[in-house]
């Protein structure tokens, strides 16, 4: 143990002086720490499962509680069942927080009338035991596999909220034959961690109620907060070492299950899982969610081939508690397959020669334009846009549903901050940026040469996106800083 404490002190002290690129040195320390862990674990017997708390006795008498010893993290879980007379099982997966399965208590009385309901406290939460290990969506998904085998009647309808949405998504992707339907409620952590944290860091203000000049300043302030988050997450060697050392992970996070699960959640990449998921998926979202941005719902709906989307306009992160009646109505639509799964195709848009925005703020545009030029424009939204060439200078811009195709460089950014949610960008050298920040989610980039080239230092965040170019083909989900290089050259160097 003394060896471990000495190594831990050395790591923490040295971290104050090392540059961001010194990952190899830090990884060596992490390896040494894990070697100490192996020595300390020698001759130790397998521990008993982390014990759960006493079962509650103050709830409806027909709700049946039981303990289950799960083998993945080695903990004793608490499981609630009701409506056992029904044949279709519904598995409820909660999110972060102390309430755990209690987040579902407002809707269980309605569900149990027609369904066999299974609610759980995940390891580390509620009344379940707090084991060692990483509380990742993948580990939790493996646990759900055992839970469904033990308790469910055939293929289960899985409903996940917040972190539980990410867990349920991973479960459906890993075990599609176990899941009859997937229902995601304000699922958190699906976007790349930088994009996810940036949203949480923004001021929770509904800009639609603000006067124009205040909306402009709010957009600039939120952009500044986002830049701080990007710098922190891109240059973060300590997180990398923590993530690569089981010993450090447990010693530093073992007593903090919410942080353990949150760190594990944002580090998980759902890109491939979403592209391969075939299970029918229904999405229910509070549009004012300050934790899991509505942007996530838009990307999920766009990326999943067999999905529906229902929105509660004035709800935030826990709609089943804040808007119970509305939520139950939408949930009933999903459970009874009343939702059309054919996605609407936009009507043909009349082509216009050009769109020019010069020194404007708080504007929204849509349509088809041969060229688009924005100069010194702030808080600009472009929705359902198609174009052949876009140039953005000294501006703050957000796109939704962008189709940008041409034969040369089709998107040029100079000293600008740009966010694109769902899109197709195709060109020779598709994107060329100078001293800018670019955030893409659910975007496919096709290029003959370079997908993204940065002439001067620029930051790029990519969530659930795809890059197809001469030198690189595949999903991209990460945050990067580029300078005088193409994104492909950086990706090819990564392990």
**Domain spans in the chain, listed from the N-terminal domain onward:** 64-190+237-335, 351-493
Measured CA distances, 293 to 57, 64, 258, 365, 371 (Å): 37, 35, 20, 22, 30
Question: Residues 312-368: pLDDT tens digits?
Answer: 999 999 999 999 999 999 999 999 988 887 777 666 567 788 999 999 999 999 999
Range in 139-148, 253-262, 412-421 the model is least confident about? 253-262
Give the per-residue pLDDT at 347: 65
As a whole number, mean pLDDT of residues 281-292 equals 95
Instruction: Give how far Cα 231 sits from Cα of 20, 170, 217, 242, 390, Å.
Output: 11, 29, 21, 18, 26
Sheet-wide strand order for 307-312: 64-70, 75-82, 116-121, 89-93, 156-161, 179-185, 281-286, 307-312
May I ask the CATH class of domain 64-190+237-335?
alpha beta
Determine which of 172-181, 204-213, 401-410, 424-433 has the lowest per-residue pLDDT on average: 204-213
Residue 29 has what pLDDT? 52
Q: What percent of the chain has pLDDT over 70?
A: 79
Supply the pLDDT for residue 209. Answer: 52
The residue behind tokens 């302030």 is 221
Contact predicate 276/305, CB 8 Å: no
Q: What is the mean pLDDT of residues 35-49?
A: 61
Does pLDDT of 25 surpass 60?
A: no
Task: Judge whether residue 14 has pLDDT over 70.
Answer: no
Lowest mean pLDDT among 66-70, 101-105, 209-213: 209-213
Contact 433, 413 (CB under 8 A): yes
Query: How much of the chain exceeds pLDDT 90, in percent?
Result: 65
Would you say 267 and 243 are in contact if contact means Cβ atoms under 8 Å apart?
Answer: yes
- Strands of 53-110, DSSP E: 64-70, 75-82, 89-93
pLDDT in tens, 138-191: 999 999 999 999 999 999 999 999 999 999 999 999 999 999 999 999 999 999
- Classify residue 320 as exposed, middle or buried by CB count within 10 Å of its CB (0-12, 13-18, 19+): buried
The pLDDT of residue 196 is 73
Average pLDDT score, the chain: 85
State the average pLDDT over residues 211-223: 51
For the ranges 13-17, 310-314, 385-389, the lowest mean pLDDT is seen at 13-17
> Residue 298 has what pLDDT?
97
pLDDT-based confidence at residue 240 (cuts at 50, 70, 90): low
Q: What confidence score (pLDDT) does residue 8 get? A: 40
Q: What is the pLDDT of residue 158?
A: 98
Task: Return the pLDDT at 44.
Answer: 53
- pLDDT band per the 50, 70, 90 thresholds, residue 377: very high
pLDDT score, position 294: 96
The residue-averaged pLDDT of 74-99 equals: 96
The residue with greater pLDDT, 391 or 219, is 391
Please say if the pLDDT value at position 432 is more than 70.
Answer: yes
- Residues 282-293: what's their mean pLDDT? 94
Q: Which H or E run contains 307? A: strand 307-312
Residue 48 in this model has a pLDDT that exceeds 90: yes
CA distance 93 to 239: 27
Mean pLDDT, rounded, for 289-305: 94
Per-residue pLDDT at 383: 95
Give the model confidence (pLDDT) of 443-472 as tens digits: 999 999 899 999 999 999 999 999 999 899
Q: Indicate the range of 221-235, 256-270, 437-451 predicted with least confidence.
A: 221-235
Torsion of CA 300, 303, 305, 309, to 10 degrees: 30
Q: Which residue has the higher pLDDT, 206 or 251?
A: 251
């Amino acid at each position: 143990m003394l060896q471990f404490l000495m190594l831990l002190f050395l790591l923490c002290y040295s971290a104050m002086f090392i540059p961001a690129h010194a990952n190899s040195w830090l990884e060596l320390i992490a390896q040494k720490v894990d070697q100490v862990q192996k020595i300390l674990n020698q001759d130790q017997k397998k521990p008993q499962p982390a014990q759960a708390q006493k079962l509650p006795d103050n709830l409806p008498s027909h709700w049946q509680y039981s303990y289950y010893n799960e083998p993945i993290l080695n903990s004793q879980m608490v499981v609630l069942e009701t409506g056992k007379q029904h044949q279709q099982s519904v598995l409820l997966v909660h999110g972060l927080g102390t309430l755990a399965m209690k987040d579902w208590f407002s809707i269980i009385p309605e569900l149990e009338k027609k369904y066999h309901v299974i609610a759980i406290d995940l390891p580390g939460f509620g009344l379940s035991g707090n084991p060692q290990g990483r509380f990742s969506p993948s580990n939790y998904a493996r646990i759900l596999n055992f839970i469904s085998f033990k308790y469910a009647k055939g293929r289960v309808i899985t409903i996940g909220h917040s972190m539980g949405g990410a867990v349920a998504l991973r479960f459906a992707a890993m075990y599609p034959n176990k899941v009859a339907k997937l229902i995601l409620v304000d699922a958190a952590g699906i976007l790349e961690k930088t994009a996810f944290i940036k949203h949480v860091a923004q001021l929770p203000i509904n800009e639609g109620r603000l006067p124009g000049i205040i909306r402009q300043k709010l957009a600039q302030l939120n952009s500044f907060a986002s830049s701080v988050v990007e710098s922190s997450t891109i240059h973060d060697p300590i997180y990398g070492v923590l993530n690569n050392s089981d010993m450090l992970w447990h010693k530093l996070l073992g007593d903090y299950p919410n942080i353990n699960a949150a760190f594990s959640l944002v580090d998980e990449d759902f890109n491939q899982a979403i592209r391969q998921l075939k299970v029918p998926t229904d999405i229910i979202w509070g549009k004012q969610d300050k934790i899991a941005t509505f942007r996530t719902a838009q990307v999920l709906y766009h990326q999943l081939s067999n999905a529906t989307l229902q929105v509660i306009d004035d709800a935030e992160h826990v709609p089943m508690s804040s808007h119970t009646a509305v939520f139950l109505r939408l949930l009933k639509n999903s459970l009874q397959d009343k939702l059309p799964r054919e996605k609407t195709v936009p009507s043909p848009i009349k082509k216009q020669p050009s769109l020019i925005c010069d020194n404007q703020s708080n504007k929204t545009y849509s349509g088809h334009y041969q060229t688009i030029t924005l100069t010194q424009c702030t808080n600009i939204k472009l929705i359902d846009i198609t174009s052949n060439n876009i140039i953005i200078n000294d501006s703050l811009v957000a796109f939704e549903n962008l189709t940008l195709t041409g034969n040369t460089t089709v998107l040029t950014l100079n000293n600008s901050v740009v966010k694109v949610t769902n899109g197709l960008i195709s060109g020779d050298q598709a994107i060329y940026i100078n001293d800018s920040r670019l955030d893409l989610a659910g975007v496919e980039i096709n290029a003959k040469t370079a997908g993204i080239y940065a002439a001067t230092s620029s930051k790029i965040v990519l969530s659930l996106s795809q890059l197809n170019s001469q030198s690189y083909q595949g999903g991209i989900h990460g945050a990067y800083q580029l300078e005088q290089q193409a994104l492909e050259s950086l990706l090819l160097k990564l392990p």
